[in-house]
Structure 1
């Protein structure tokens, strides 16, 4: 029996030392010792490198429907918080533990202005100021003096299209809220529908999945479902067979390393080429083109279908929270289900979320839903998940925090590894343009509405007559599409869209010549 020892390029421990692994049949003993995770990128608590970087950006923390007549307990970036909407309509995101004696404000009473702690009746405004101290009558001056001496930890919060966003960094460094392309480029016929899906694992492996453009070929292919046990009525990217084709990928850092364009070319058939460009933005935003494209007809510069942040809850839990764009402008096949988009629910591939079978929530309130147990293996959907796993199962099964030094990457993992490097450069300051401060300056220059590379495109380009020529054609077209999008960055709105479509048309005609 032969034994090999290979040094695997790119396989390193969290300390940077190269890992040498023995390739031995039945050699589990040699790989049974699990090294530590990468704290620089995965840990997000106060004072950690990634935690401090993330606190320089706005993050969605919950859905607006979660703000009911009682406070909403949250954990975000390893901090215990409560969110509420007071009687005046103002939104508060406060530290959970009362600054007086530490009782949780999740049991507080929402007031016309602010929230009252259940323990001793202190009232705090949405900015953290103490509005009322219940001292006995006759001691008003002492109460006022005490109120001026304390302040509850608070973060600025805003509401956008059914999501609550908070800025958790230094108040003097607050960045503009990024209104990508002026309210996220939704056609007049369409709308941004909010959703929030809990993920029982570290934030980075969820974000990695967004840059992993190869996994649909296996994970979302109906042919790989065991025994035909499909996830209800949805699978095969809701019938889009073109998504099962392994794409030729082109990854390009954009906007001075603040984002990554992930462009993939897939052959729909001998006459059409599908080029999907996804846009990853530091630190945790991803912008996705149409997920259900079947390539049936020519389409140029189709825009956002999913806008999604991966928000750390703590180091072993996170949220996918954002908007699904619904309407005929983006959903040209008319198969979206708005009624299935919301809290712990999405309208495609049940395996995207922890709680399968969203129809079980009919007639329940948001308070009913959030009380459902979270151990996914205890649910009746576990067997269904084994038959037809989705993104949720694949991602959380990488361990609560994925161990990067155990990975053996291939060329098609290049996007997520490049994005990790961009994160590391931003955190370490080796790319100053990607720092939170310079990112904020850039947003101000862009009037808070930068352009996105996100687009879905179906071009009438025939397949080349040899495999070699076809590969070269796909890769050349993908690179040219990213170059056109870069060239278009000097325009805005309709002028940019017209420019891009004209250039894509020219590219299509040149490819036929």
Structure 2
């Protein structure tokens, strides 16, 4: 670089590529999740999905999670196990092992392990061998729920309870359908994309090149998300999570408030995925997701699609289209299209994977629309450094097996316009969030009714009522 060329000048120089060839490196504190790394150890404090139940047949399955080579299996009695992949004897892979009633047997010399890693049998050794007393295969606690297999990779004496949120069981009749989406890139660029809600008004709304036929572009757009929302972001759970509030003005004095919540380090829930999101008084979660690192340059989304009449009253979703590396709600969520199709009608998969195997934050030039992304990174960094208070919202004891609240939802209210409609939309969004928080300490079966009753009180009221309600909520700490 010329000594006379200052960085500020280079940044604005047309045809200045020659001066911007310096090698930039990833932010490994946030992006690396191998054992021993700050983010890797942070993630190991929580239950992580590792595969779909349907992937565990009568054969073991080789998996890689958080930079560790593992094998998942279902024993002949139906229990699941997650072990280190290479046998403690001579290192043969247990992906070639024989599933048994109690566990899995290595194909090489027959060493037989239970799901907790206990060595049950060493058929090639003499009877007096004490290997069963001195050797244990690396193993992690694992269980199944609604078609997903979960494992805990942290310290055994710090294993948490698995948090069960309201949306897993409410409204009544909810069906959770498991799915996965595979991305050949770092986990963080997929996770933080959710806080970049502004992209829905561009990427997911006819962002196609000239001459694309309807068949190629079909399914890449989210109906109703085309207008730029008024955005707000806020930390939740003492900094252990965050939400965005997206408020949009609709015809006939309607306001649509959409809230999505992350719970760190890699969990989130999303509201309605169909056009009725902009029609319903109140609906809750349509998707639960964990963004799980495979290693630093690969990740898998594991999650549940929620099917019920509240979140999808017109039954536009398709459970049959959810499963291993497939999802029903939007084309471009997996790498199953041709390169040309992705170029002509790009989706999330193309946008996120194309940021490099690991996105380079040092090369970004953020704007105001990126506030949520940078807030997400800041809070994750604090979590990895152990600077956040303990998140009691996922562990606090609840009577009668109560489930836990979250804030992901869509609500539509009648609120007449005023001269400063942007500020009004912000206030309406904050008011909806404060109403959701009001219900936190209620029994789980009372929360939805409380929220709907309070939203009914707002409906049709003018700016003065909204402003007063927001002030009251702020004074009460909500």
The answer to whether TM tops 0.5 is yes
1:248 counterpart = 2:230: yes
C-alpha distance in 2 between matches for 1:258 and 1:319: 22
TM-score (norm 1): 0.85
Taking the TM superposition and a 5 Å limit, the aligned residue runs for 1:38-437 are: 38-135=27-124, 139-142=126-129, 145-181=130-166, 184-222=168-206, 224-230=208-214, 231=216, 233-237=218-222, 240=223, 242-294=224-276, 297-300=279-282, 302-356=283-337, 381-431=338-388, 433=389
Looking at structure 2, the residues matched to 439 and 289 of structure 1 have their Cα atoms a distance apart, in angstroms, of 23
Distance (whole Å) between structure 2 residues aligned to residue 141 and residue 340 of structure 1: 55
* 2:421 corresponding residue in structure 1: 470
Change in CA separation of 1:29 and 1:502 when aligned onto 2, cut-off 3 Å: same
Matched residue of 1:347: which SS?
coil
Secondary structure in 1 aligned to 2:59?
Answer: coil
SS for the counterpart of 1:47 is coil
**In 2 relative to 1, CA 385–111 (structure 1 residues): closer, same or farther, beyond 3 Å?**
same
Q: How far did 1:343 drift?
A: 0.7
**Mapped partners of 2:93, 2:277: distance in 1:** 53
- The answer to whether the 8 A contact 1:63-1:164 is kept is yes
Match of 1:460 among 402, 414, 417: 414
Question: Residues 270 and 463 of structure 1 are in contact (CA less than 8 Å); yes or no, is this contact kept in structure 2?
Answer: no
Which secondary structure does the structure 1 equivalent of 2:95 belong to? helix
Task: For residue 84 of structure 1, report the CA deviation from its aligned partner.
Answer: 0.3
**Mapped partners of 2:284, 2:98: distance in 1:** 43
Superposed displacement of residue 481, structure 1: 1.4
Distance 1:323 1:332, change over 3 A: same
Deviation for aligned residue 1:336: 0.6
**Structure 1 residues 5 and 244: alpha-carbon distance in aligned structure 2, compared to 1, 3 A threshold:** farther
The 3 A distance-change label for structure 1 pair 226 and 99 is farther
Q: CA deviation at 1:317?
A: 0.2
Deviations 1:233-262 (A, max 9, x none): 42321xx2x211111111111111111121
Determine if the alignment matches structure 1 residue 439 to structure 2 residue 426.
no
User: What runs of 5+ residues in structure 1 fail to find an aligned partner?
Assistant: 8-19, 357-380
Two-structure CA RMSD over aligned residues (Å): 2.0
* Distance apart, 1:383 and its partner CA: 0.5
Output the CA distance in 2 between the equivalents of 1:334 and 1:22.
50
Once residues 257 and 360 of structure 2 are traced to their aligned partners in structure 1, the CA distance between those partners, rounded to angstroms, is: 32
Instruction: Give the conservation status (yes or no) of the 8 Å contact 1:272–1:295.
Output: no
- Does the 8 A contact of 1:108 with 1:118 survive in 2? yes
Kindly provide the CA deviation profile for residues 454-483 of structure 1, in whole angstroms up to 9, marking residues without a partner as x: 11111122333x4xx211111111111122
How far does residue 189 in structure 1 lie from its aligned partner after superposition? 3.3
Give CA-to-partner distance per residue, 1:4-61, whole Å, 9 cap, x none.
Answer: 9566xxxxxxxxxxxx853211111122223110010100001000001110000000
1:314 Cα deviation after fit: 0.2
- Give 3-state SS (helix, strand or coil) of 1:350's partner: coil
Question: How far, CA to CA, are the matches of 2:384 and 2:86 in structure 1?
Answer: 30
SS at match of 2:415: coil
Name the CA distance, whole Å, in 1 between partners of 2:207 and 2:183.
Answer: 26
| d(CA) in 2 for partners of 1:323, 1:297 | 23
Aligned to 1:360: none
Give a deviation string over 1:102-158, Cα, whole Å, max 9, x none. 11100111111110111111011000000110136xx3232xx11111110000001
Structure 1 residue 484 corresponds to structure 2 residue 435: yes
Q: CA deviation at 1:485?
A: 1.8
Q: Call closer, same or farther: CA 1:448–1:28 in 2, change over 3 Å.
A: farther
Please name the residue that 1:367 is paired with: none
SS where residue 207 of structure 1 aligns? helix
**Distance in 2 (alpha carbons) for counterparts of 1:62 and 1:496:** 32
Normalising by structure 2, we get a TM-score of 0.91
Partners of 1:504 and 1:441 in 2: how far apart?
24
Distance (Å, rounded) in 1 between the aligned partners of 2:402 and 2:37:
27
More moved, 252-261 vs 454-463? 454-463
| Structure 1 residues 114 and 295: alpha-carbon distance in aligned structure 2, compared to 1, 3 A threshold | closer
Deviation per CA, 1:408-453: give whole Å up to 9, x if none.
Answer: 111111112111111111111222x1xxxx3368513356832101
Residues 488-511 of structure 1, C-alpha deviations (whole Å, 9 max, x = no match): 212132322122112222222323
- Residues 490 and 296 of structure 1: is their aligned pair in 2 closer, same or farther, counting only changes over 3 Å? closer
**Within 2, Cα distance between the matches of 1:233 and 1:458?**
27
Q: CA deviation at 1:295?
A: 5.4
> Quick check: 43-52 or 330-339, which moved more?
330-339
Structure 2 match to 1:363: none
8 Å CA contact retained: 1:229, 1:387: no
